[in-house]
Amino acid sequence: MKILVLNAGSSSQKSCLYYIPDDARSQHISTELWSASIDWTKQEGMANLKVESNGLVVEETQATNDQLAVMKRCFETLCEGDTAVLETLAEVDFVGHRIVHGGRTYQQPTWITEDVKRTIEQLIPLAPNHNPANLEGIKLMEKLLPETPQVAVFDTAFHSKIPTTSAIYPLPYQWYEQGICRYGFHGISHQYCAEKTAKLLNQDLANLKLVTCHLGNGASLAAIKNGHSIDTTMGFTPLEGLMMGTRCGSIDPGIVIHLLREKDLTLDQVDVMLNKESGLKGLSGISADMRSITTEMENNDRAKLAFETYIHHLCRQIGAMVASLEGLDAIVFTAGVGENSAIVRQETCQRLGYLGVDLDVEKNKNSPKNEDIASNNSQVRVLVIHTDEDSAIAQTVSQIA
Ligand code: ADP
């Protein structure tokens, strides 16, 4: 079957077409036939379209703000010209969407209906930066592929079974009843990495205690036991937990009260400060990008402070996940920083020596991908996994189709 996956953000849309043989649905075998990204951030009123297929990379620019028109052009490249891999769009069997917030309602991938769309809309206050774009993506696909069944795969779903003691905040109980609790995010990636780790270690996921570290611009950890997320660092929103590129992660909520009460800041200003002006960017004053931080930290004290604080928070929270797991078999690094920054992995693992973590320094340096980089003596395995949320969504869709 052919499955088109759409990952729709507010300023970019990524789509991939996968082929999954009918007899390989449960085996995680998929072939990426075509991928495209639309980026609206490069120039006001301009969409940059980049298509990769048949070994080619084709780029073009569309001077319009009309999302439907650009998506239509994007999908024309599926069936026309050198990038074509289909005769007609009708060959797409299913569309899978990454939906960031499924609240308490959606703990499984779900066929999209009017009801499902309404619920995703109702959840917008919980994910104001993501759910509106996700919903818009669904509506665009309904216009472009009206006959094709669509499935929503939720980033919160993998965490939906974390124990109440981890999900609940110690606030007045009625807030919990009103849905103010830990949801957790990056679930598609955490689950994908956990399954891939079990395969690479040739072990049953049900017997493993894992801490998966999804370290991208946004970053979160998951404590995974018996194949389930039992704890995670992100919470009610993606702001909690680790220090990130521009987000502060966990801070004393009293700081927010202080800023609002004493510093005469508006709510929106505090929101921007915590989400966009903090983290690596806020501490270094240089960049939210770990590449710039590690390059600059030789000569710049603030960059060094930002790096060391990032590692401190990461190790502290890994410790918290290990406490929830009551043990540890493997640590998994993934996403932009986790997959590419040897120094982040080295500094982190060095500080986790007390847990029996021992890195093979050479393996760590040699751009590992889907590899165990712990030394032979290490009591805890250390893996670098290339996360592939889109193929995970395609696989999930194929399993319910
Ligand atoms: P997102 O969280 O937006 O999906 P990614 O997972 O791709 O993004 O992570 C992007 C981040 O990964 C960049 O901002 C940068 O900090 C980091 N990154 C990417 N490549 C490297 C690298 N070679 N070394 C260190 N950090 C890197």
Calpha distance 113→105 (Å, rounded): 14
Q: Do 141 and 227 lie in a common domain?
A: no
The verdict on 318 and 246 lying in the same domain is: yes
7 labelled ligand-binding: yes
- Do 59 and 135 have their domain in common? yes
Q: Do 221 and 150 share a structural domain? A: no
Answer yes or no: is 214 a known binding residue: yes
Contact 353, 378 (CB under 8 A): no
- What φ, ψ does residue 148 adopt, rounded to 5°? -95, 125
What is the Å distance from ligand 1's center to 216 Cα?
A: 5
Instruction: Say if residue 107 is in the same domain as residue 217.
Output: no
Residue 195 lies in a domain: no
- Residue 358: CB atoms within 10 A of its CB come to 18
Does residue 25 register a pLDDT over 90?
A: no
Tell whether 175 is covered by a domain.
no
246 C-alpha vs ligand 1 centroid, how far in Å?
A: 12
Closest Cα to atom 24 of ligand 1: 341
Query: Does a structural domain hold residue 190?
Result: no
The model's pLDDT over 258-293, given as tens digits with 9 standing for 90+, comes to 999 998 899 999 999 999 999 999 999 999 999 999
| SS3 of 306-341 | HHHHHHHHHHHHHHHHHHHHCCCCEEEEEHHHHHHC
Residue 32 C-alpha from the chain's centroid: 19
205 is in an annotated binding site: no
* 14 labelled binding-site residue: yes
Number of separate domains in the chain: 2
Q: Give dist(CA 360, CA 392) in Å, integer.
A: 29
Q: Which of 189, 291, 314 to mutate to test the pocket of ligand 1 (most atoms within 8 A of CB)?
A: 291
Are 134 and 43 found together in one domain?
A: yes
Residue 271: strand, helix, or coil: helix
Q: What are phi and psi of 73, to 5 degrees?
A: -60, -40
- Residues 361, 6: Cα–Cα separation, whole Å: 38
- Determine the distance separating the centroid of ligand 1 and the alpha carbon of 345, expressed in angstroms: 14
Atom nearest to 344 CA in ligand 1: 25
Q: Are residues 212 and 150 in the same domain?
A: no
Whichever domain contains 111, its CATH number is 3.30.420.40
**pLDDT > 70: percent of the chain:** 99
**Residue 86, number of CB atoms within 10 A of its CB:** 17
Q: Do 66 and 126 lie in a common domain? A: yes
Q: Is 134 annotated as ligand-binding?
A: no
pLDDT of residue 23: 75
**Using CA atoms, how far apart are residues 212 and 230, in angstroms rounded to an integer?**
12
Q: What is the pLDDT of residues 76-95, one digit of tens each?
A: 999 999 999 999 999 999 99
Backbone angles phi, psi at 67, to 5 degrees: -60, -40
Using a 6 Å CB cutoff, which residues line ligand 1?
216-218, 245, 289-291, 335-337, 340-341
The token pair that represents 301 in the structure block? 């004290």
Rounded to 5 degrees, φ, ψ at 304 are -65, -40
Task: Answer yes or no: do 135 and 244 share one domain.
Answer: no
Does 209 share its domain with 295?
A: yes
Is 84 a member of any domain?
yes
Residue 128, domain extent: 2-154
Residue 401, pLDDT score: 86
Does one domain contain both 144 and 214?
no
Q: Answer yes or no: is 188 within a domain.
A: no
Test site for ligand 1: of 7, 193, 290, most ligand atoms within 8 A of the Cβ: 290
Catalytic residue list: 155
Q: pLDDT value at position 10?
A: 77
Structural domain contains residue 166? no
Which pTM was predicted? Answer: 0.94
Tell me the CA–centroid distance for residue 167 and ligand 1, in Å: 28
pLDDT of residue 223: 98
Look at residue 165 and tell me if it is in a domain.
Answer: no
Taking alpha carbons only, the member of 350, 346, 377, 324 closest to residue 159 is: 324
Give 3-state DSSP helix, strand, coil % of the chain, rounded to 5: 40, 20, 35
Lowest mean pLDDT among 63-67, 144-148, 226-230, 313-317: 63-67
Q: Ligand 1: distance of its center to the CA of 206 in Å?
A: 30
Query: What is the rounded distance in angstroms from the CA atom of residue 17 to the CA atom of residue 20?
Result: 10
- Write out pLDDT tens, residues 30-77: 899 999 999 988 888 899 999 999 999 999 999 998 999 999 999 999
pLDDT of 246 higher than 80:
yes
The answer to the question of residue 187 being in a domain is no
CA angle (52 as vertex; 47, 54 as ends), nearest 5: 145
Band (172; pLDDT cuts 50, 70, 90): very high
Q: What is the maximum span of the chain, computed from C-alpha positions, in angstroms?
A: 63
User: What is the position in ligand 1's atom list of the atom closest to the CA of 280?
Assistant: 16
The answer on 102 and 224 residing in a single domain is no
